[in-house]
Each structure stands twice: as structure tokens, then as C-alpha cells.
Amino acid sequence: MTNPIADPLELIAAYVGNARWFGGKGRPFTLSGRRRLGEVPGGKAAADREETGPRVAIDLVTVEYADSVGMSFTVSVAGNS
């Protein structure tokens, strides 16, 4: 069993580093910031008005490289809480 990663920034960094669209593959980077741009609430069941679907957030993350200027990317994050 693997140990879960407690820090959400570590999860986002792992996702960005492995994403097909990320142009910095193979270069060391750090996430220097994250800003929430907005949220879409989960769906609601008509009968009981409880959330039935995940919430989705759109975050702007800033990637910094040691040898050049940083870049910003939008990342969609889904969760149930």
C-alpha cells in the first residue's frame, strides 16, 4: 500500500508534471502558487436536495523553474467535500 500525499500542492505538482500538455517535462520545477479562480457546485438530487456529484474547482497554478521564468496553468480539481 502506498502512503497518501497529504499536501494538495504535491498532488497538483505530480499531476502537472505528468500531464501530456506540460512543456516542462524533465526539468525540475516547483509550484510557487495556487489561486482558486472559481467553483462549480456538485449536482443536487431533486427529491432530497443532497449533493450527488463532485464539486469542481478551477485553480491557477504557477510553475517556477530554477533556470528560467515561471509559467501559469489552469487546473481543474474535482472532489466530494
As a whole number, mean pLDDT of residues 10-20 equals 88
- State how far the Cα of 22 lies from the Cα of 80, in Å rounded to an integer: 26
Between 26 and 15, the higher pLDDT residue: 15
Cα dihedral value 24, 33, 78, 15, nearest 10? 20
Between 62 and 5, the higher pLDDT residue: 62
